[in-house]
Amino acid sequence: MRKVAVLGIGQTKVSEHWDKSLKDLAGEAIQGALSDAGRTPIDGLFVGNMLSGSLNQQENLGVLITDWCGLTPAEALKIETACSSGGSAFRSGLIAVASGEMECVLVVGVEKMTDSRPADTTAALATAADADYETAHGLSFVALNALVMRRYLHDYGWQHTDFAPFSIIAHANAVTNPYARLSFPVTEQDYAQARMIAEPINLLDASPIGDGAAAVVLVPAEQANPRSTNGSSTRITIAASATATDTLAIHDRKDPTWLSAAYSSARKAYSQAGVAPQEIDFFELHDAFSIMSVLSLEACGFAERGQGPRLGLEGDIQITGRLPIATLGGLKARGHPVGATGVYQIVEVVQQLRGQAGSNQVEKARIGMAQNIGGSGATIVTHILKKE
Amino acid sequence: MRKVAVLGIGQTKVSEHWDKSLKDLAGEAIQGALSDAGRTPIDGLFVGNMLSGSLNQQENLGVLITDWCGLTPAEALKIETACSSGGSAFRSGLIAVASGEMECVLVVGVEKMTDSRPADTTAALATAADADYETAHGLSFVALNALVMRRYLHDYGWQHTDFAPFSIIAHANAVTNPYARLSFPVTEQDYAQARMIAEPINLLDASPIGDGAAAVVLVPAEQANPRSTNGSSTRITIAASATATDTLAIHDRKDPTWLSAAYSSARKAYSQAGVAPQEIDFFELHDAFSIMSVLSLEACGFAERGQGPRLGLEGDIQITGRLPIATLGGLKARGHPVGATGVYQIVEVVQQLRGQAGSNQVEKARIGMAQNIGGSGATIVTHILKKE
């Protein structure tokens, strides 16, 4: 298989885009990515999206966007794996180019969630669980994560306030990101006083939904000339791509506080990239809830089991720390337009590796990892990108 | 890229399966395919489905089915391109194996449509059109096809009754197919008297929806030992796979009676397989409406423009004819569980090439073609399979 490079990136602000439809949002991100790449034609379009069928009365999203962007007869498809749809679409586009089947592909993640009533959005998000055995009992995704967090607090003896740094750091990192939905700082006091959503998850443990789109252009690495950014010449290649699955229902797992799919997919990714966890310079993880950040850090080998909160308390995950996470706000503050999130993560990894992350730049960033999670840890997609 | 073989096939009857959920149906087809292939483990599951979000309140379909079938941690995803979702999922699974990224994959097409009220199903099918510019005007898919058929009758001077053979032959071919939804014959008189749905499309011009699932197991050809079926030793390989797209809206096309995406994808497929149209022994086409059969036959080079109905009137498309189509009932009589249809087509091509099509066996079938259409000709996926 050929090595593949990210040639262009584009994104819209995550927001309540009441004046823009799915295809408008996707088109804006695609236009950005194509213009950044300086290249067409495109052989294929891979769309990451979860909710267009349930919230937007729109399927056939691949060709809808292809047609809207004037890219026909390029082939197109929509890929869905719940909240990891963006990561899965990126992986599919990558395989298409790496295999030699296609020479240049676009991957776009897009989601439009804020036109619907909140109750409808919550119900739509619950379609990521088993309709027969889980959703029927009224369990929402916040409730599922609350059960896991409560168990974690019980098993390892942490206090709820020990999770505050995850929220505070994500918000701090979003302040200068023009694409972030919640670009304001929050304090320890804000966190302690935030209203409870599903105990012990409060408002500041949870990421906000949103409308948005992010896109990348992929080509064989040998066709991607190094580009000059900030005085240095860089080429961003994909060093690893791996997906693993676990049981859909948390109640079917031997251990509800262990993300076995994160462990497997990260381990495969490290092996493909030939790196150890300590060589990862920053990590765009799936902080849909603060408990998920902790579980991901542990499963990916960045913390001992039960010790994830320590990375927040000791400053390791700050931009200047040992392993910066959510460097442009993460799901928590950039926002979580579910099927688009995985592509936002990749776009942000590229921004860091190119040295285009502004005041949030991770110094000497050379190897970045992104991890996208579908369902409560059921599908986990890990990518490692390198600056060459 | 490696040559890929179909090692196993499985399918459920297309019916009103009120006692089975999406995962039950998919599981049944998968069990059949795995048992036919005599092989696990599976590296990836590619699910073709269009409507689970809008009709079944179920997303995350890939891992739902993977988990249900005990296939975790194999990776999984759902692929959606409207009514060609099955064909697109097959193509994605094929690329994963051909590239060397995976060694053994399952492709399953599944759809569950009959639990919903007919008006909801019609609305859900309309999500294949542009929600902003088409669906808003109330145009259903039957209505769209009726406009095309009316234009075709006007342009080329055919009578409506000239389309009767497409319906009569499909129904005749379904009579002995245990998996077909409408396994009864219809006559010329039935056709002439069928009630009008959207003039000039009557009930017997249109395919029925349904619940159902079909699955295949794909492996590298060098790992597929020839199997002994009906006394002969066969191996079924995939000789071509190509997708092309056209404008989503018919009103945006220069010529509404020409399927340019069928032309492009078939031409690419012929070139990959190194065959001419006249070497195709049978053709599982996308006869969602009789007009679509005619347009596909013309765009794929089996009839001159405007002369498609002649193939029906002259007997060419019968099992014993020059180019048998819909050999086990087609969409018209086997049924059209939309996202599953493309995989049913592949399963039926394999049945024919293996010599397992019973009284519908196409004699000396060596090269079979399947074509799956999403939207009104917007996404068209063509595959050619060979018996070796």
Asked if residues B110 and B123 have their Cβ atoms less than 8 Å apart, the reply is: no
Measure the CA–CA gap between B33 and B213, rounded to whole angstroms.
11
Asked if residues A27 and A17 have their Cβ atoms less than 8 Å apart, the reply is: no
Asked if residues B346 and B6 have their Cβ atoms less than 8 Å apart, the reply is: yes
Residues B64, A264: C-beta atoms closer than 8 Å: no
Q: Which of B83, B160, B171, B300 is catalytic?
A: B83
Residues A74, B245: C-beta atoms closer than 8 Å: yes
The nearest alpha carbon in chain B to A262 belongs to B73
User: How distant is the Cα of A128 from the closest Cα of chain B, in angstroms?
Assistant: 5
Can you state the angle between helices A61-68 and A22-37, rounded to 10 degrees? 60
Q: What is the mean pLDDT of residues B82-105?
A: 97
> Among B77, B264, B378, whose Cβ lies nearest the Cβ of A60?
B378
> Among A51, A63, A264, whose Cβ lies nearest the Cβ of B378?
A63
| Mean pLDDT over each residue of chain B, to the nearest integer | 96
* Strand B4-11 with A201-202, pairing: unpaired
Where do we find the tokens 């996308």? B286
- Alpha-helical (H) ranges within chain A are 22-37, 52-55, 61-68, 85-98, 118-125, 141-156, 164-174, 188-193, 260-273, 290-299, 308-313, 330-333, 338-354
Please give the full DSSP string across B236-252, using - where no structure is assigned. EEEEEEEEEE--SSGGG
pTM of the model: 0.97
Measure the CA–CA gap between A93 and A108, rounded to whole angstroms.
10
Please give the full DSSP string across A345-359, using - where no structure is assigned. HHHHHHHHHHT--GG
Residues A375, B50: C-beta atoms closer than 8 Å: no
- Angle at CA A322, nearest 5°, toward A320 and A328? 50
Please give the full DSSP string across B256-302, using - where no structure is assigned. TT--HHHHHHHHHHHHHHT--GGG--EEE---SBHHHHHHHHHHTTS
Measure the CA–CA gap between B290 and B267, rounded to whole angstroms.
22
User: How distant is the Cα of B183 from the closest Cα of chain A, in angstroms?
Assistant: 30
User: How distant is the Cα of A374 from the closest Cα of chain B, in angstroms?
Assistant: 7
How many CB atoms are located within 10 Å of the residue A118 CB? 10
Q: How far is CA A286 from CA A161, A268, A318, A346, in A?
A: 20, 18, 16, 12
Q: At A378, phi and psi to the nearest 5?
A: -75, -45
The nearest alpha carbon in chain B to A70 belongs to B247
Q: Both tokens of residue A255?
A: 């251990």
Measure the CA–CA gap between A91 and B75, rounded to whole angstroms.
11
The nearest alpha carbon in chain A to B70 belongs to A247
End-to-end CA distance of chain A: 18
Interface test with A, best of B3, B19, B60, B130 (most A CBs within 10 A): B60
Measure the CA–CA gap between B254 and B152, rounded to whole angstroms.
14
**How does residue B132 score in pLDDT terms, banded at 50, 70 and 90?**
confident
Measure the CA–CA gap between B204 and B166, rounded to whole angstroms.
9
> Among B1, B67, B76, whose Cβ lies nearest the Cβ of A100?
B1
pLDDT tens across B139-180, in order? 888 999 999 999 999 999 999 999 999 999 999 999 999 999
Residues B60, A23: C-beta atoms closer than 8 Å: no
Q: What is the mean pLDDT of residues B289-317?
A: 98
The nearest alpha carbon in chain B to A57 belongs to B127
Measure the CA–CA gap between B103 and A26, rounded to whole angstroms.
34
Asked if residues B336 and B207 have their Cβ atoms less than 8 Å apart, the reply is: yes
pLDDT score for A134 = 83
The nearest alpha carbon in chain B to A245 belongs to B73
Measure the CA–CA gap between A199 and A145, rounded to whole angstroms.
10
Measure the CA–CA gap between A266 and A39, rounded to whole angstroms.
32
Q: Is residue B243 scored above 70 in pLDDT?
A: yes
Where do we find the tokens 């896109």? A215
pLDDT tens across A203-212, in order? 999 999 999 9
Please give the full DSSP string across A68-120, using - where no structure is assigned. HTT-TTSEEEEEEBTBTHHHHHHHHHHHHHHTTS-S-EEEEEEE--TTS-HHH
How many CB atoms are located within 10 Å of the residue B1 CB? 13
Q: Which residues of chain A are under the pLDDT cut of 70?
A: 228-232
Chain B contact set for A92 (CB, 8 A): 77, 92
Chain A contact set for B62 (CB, 8 A): 80-81, 245, 379
**How does residue B71 score in pLDDT terms, banded at 50, 70 and 90?**
very high
User: How distant is the Cα of A77 from the closest Cα of chain B, in angstroms?
Assistant: 5
pLDDT score for B231 = 60
Per DSSP, the three-state class of A272 is helix
Nearest of A318, A96, A326, A298 to residue A217 by alpha carbon = A96
Asked if residues A48 and A347 have their Cβ atoms less than 8 Å apart, the reply is: no
Q: Is residue B228 scored above 80 in pLDDT?
A: no
Measure the CA–CA gap between A87 and B90, rounded to whole angstroms.
20
pLDDT score for B229 = 63
pLDDT score for A131 = 86
Chain A contact set for B268 (CB, 8 A): none
The amino acid that residue B173 corresponds to is N
Measure the CA–CA gap between B324 and B74, rounded to whole angstroms.
38
User: How distant is the Cα of A175 from the closest Cα of chain B, in angstroms?
Assistant: 33
How many CB atoms are located within 10 Å of the residue A84 CB? 35
Chain B contact set for A379 (CB, 8 A): 60, 62-63, 75-77
pLDDT tens across A185-207, in order? 999 999 999 999 999 999 999 99
**How does residue B263 score in pLDDT terms, banded at 50, 70 and 90?**
very high
The amino acid that residue A72 corresponds to is T
> Among A75, A81, A99, whose Cβ lies nearest the Cβ of B243?
A75
pLDDT tens across B143-153, in order? 999 999 999 99
Q: Both tokens of residue A20?
A: 């823009």
Answer yes or no: A83 catalytic: yes
pLDDT tens across B180-227, in order? 999 999 999 999 999 999 999 999 999 999 999 999 999 999 998 777
> Among A57, A60, A98, whose Cβ lies nearest the Cβ of B374?
A60
Chain A contact set for B135 (CB, 8 A): 57
Residues B131, A264: C-beta atoms closer than 8 Å: no
Q: Percent of chain B beyond pLDDT 90?
A: 92
- Inter-chain Cβ pairs, chain A and chain B, closer than 8 A: 213
Q: Is residue B232 scored above 80 in pLDDT?
A: no
> Among B73, B78, B99, whose Cβ lies nearest the Cβ of A99?
B99
Chain B contact set for A41 (CB, 8 A): none
Q: How far is CA B306 from CA A181, B149, B258, B302, in A?
A: 55, 12, 10, 11
Interface test with A, best of B24, B69, B125, B245 (most A CBs within 10 A): B245
- Alpha-helical (H) ranges within chain B are 22-37, 52-55, 61-68, 85-98, 118-125, 141-156, 164-174, 188-193, 260-273, 290-299, 308-313, 330-333, 341-354
Nearest of B294, B323, B205, B225 to residue B7 by alpha carbon = B225
User: How distant is the Cα of A1 from the closest Cα of chain B, in angstroms?
Assistant: 7
> Among B73, B130, B245, whose Cβ lies nearest the Cβ of A245?
B73
